[in-house]
Amino acid sequence: MPVLSRFAYTRPCAFAAVLSLTALVTGCGDSPDGGPAVTAASAEVTVPVSAVSATVLDAGAEPREVVRLAPTTGTEQNVILTTRSEVHQQIGDQPAQDFSTPELTTPLSATVTESVADGASGTVVDLRLGDVSTPDPHLETSLAEVEGSGAGLTMGPNGAVSALRLEPGTAVPNVARSALEQAFYQAVYRMVAFPDEAIGVGAVWESHQQVMSAGITIDQVGTATLVSREDDRVRVDIRVEQIPQESTWMLPNGQGQLSVEQYTMAGDGTLTIDPSKPLPIQGDFTVSGDQTYLDPDGATRLTQSQVDRVGWHTPES
């Protein structure tokens, strides 16, 4: 059985395979000569984010109204995104390995360049990265060239992200690129999507979103509660659970397959949203769980535990 590794920041993988939030040990491909695969530098990479469906379970108290995010073109916002992923993995009787991604603090300057409020089909948000920091000295060195790099989101009026764009700059090392990719993936799959129906305080709705990783599909089920709405700020409590849709995980790059013996991944958080702004103004989210996989012969067991944390904060002006 091959030695597998989740997207560890010391071994870069292709951008589209980085879904840290799925709690899967995403295998990193090797180059033909046996060395680590290297993510090619590019001016811009854009990947789609799977659609979200929302069903109202309880419309809440009156007054009710449809919640829509509609920042106008030219709207600017400064926020700080903080992410961390703790991953511990063991294959059979081998020593346990730590594939955690250190905490990453990413200042973001957002500008709305297209808006549904102005007739566009979606809201396009350009992001400029500030001085990204981490307590890990190895990663800190690699982040030196990140400041000024670009990113972007395309969002629907319900708040769901439909596309993620990254433009880290050709001088940014692959180690820093992979850490940023993980951070943004964690963030976009922890956003709240509002239903199409009118809702009031106390409303509860359920959302479904497919999280695609290499070789397996996860159904992320969210239950959201509208806690308060005042002064144009909406506070939502959210609980999510991830459910694998297949019993077999096809490993990337032709490394074989594993049976899903046990899978848990769930958590909760709170987001505070200003519908006139493109990003959450405050929030925190923690999702954790344990997974167990078996090789086809049932002779080798792979176990993994994971804790993902995402935080949003508006800096003081």
Segment 128-158, tens digit of pLDDT: 999 999 999 989 999 999 999 999 999 999 9
- Does 13 score more than 80 pLDDT? no
- CA angle 123–164–114, rounded 5-degree value: 20
Cβ proximity of 14 and 104 under 8 Å: no
pLDDT at residue 162 in the model: 95
pLDDT at residue 216 in the model: 81
pLDDT at residue 246 in the model: 87
Global pTM reads 0.85
User: Tokens in use for 292?
Assistant: 């167990």
- Give the closest residue to 10 by CA, choosing from 161, 134, 179, 143: 179
pLDDT at residue 126 in the model: 97
Cβ proximity of 154 and 122 under 8 Å: yes
> What is the band of 317 on the pLDDT scale with cuts at 50, 70, 90?
low
pLDDT digits (tens, 9 = 90+) for 253-304: 777 889 999 999 999 999 999 999 999 999 999 999 999 999 888 888 999 9
> What is the band of 213 on the pLDDT scale with cuts at 50, 70, 90?
low
- Give the closest residue to 6 by CA, choosing from 312, 307, 309, 311: 307
Task: Work out the average pLDDT over 192-199.
Answer: 97
CA atoms of 16 and 50, how far apart (whole Å) = 13
DSSP state of 144: G
pLDDT digits (tens, 9 = 90+) for 221-255: 999 999 999 888 999 999 999 999 989 888 877 77
pLDDT at residue 212 in the model: 66
Task: Work out the average pLDDT over 103-116.
Answer: 97
Cβ proximity of 223 and 204 under 8 Å: yes
pLDDT digits (tens, 9 = 90+) for 41-94: 456 788 889 999 999 999 999 999 999 999 999 999 999 999 999 999 999 989
- Does 6 score more than 80 pLDDT? no
- Does 118 score more than 50 pLDDT? yes
pLDDT digits (tens, 9 = 90+) for 155-191: 999 999 999 999 988 889 999 999 999 999 999 999 9
- Does 10 score more than 90 pLDDT? no
Secondary-structure percent of the chain, ordered helix, strand, coil, rounded to 5: 10, 45, 40
pLDDT at residue 112 in the model: 98
Cβ proximity of 314 and 78 under 8 Å: yes
- Does 1 score more than 70 pLDDT? no
Cβ proximity of 143 and 164 under 8 Å: no
pLDDT at residue 26 in the model: 37
User: Tokens in use for 92?
Assistant: 């059979």
pLDDT at residue 29 in the model: 33
Residues 6+ apart with CB under 8 A from 214: 17, 24, 26, 27, 250, 251, 252
pLDDT at residue 311 in the model: 98
pLDDT at residue 47 in the model: 86
Among left, alpha and beta (phi > 0; psi -120 to 50; other), residue 232 is: left
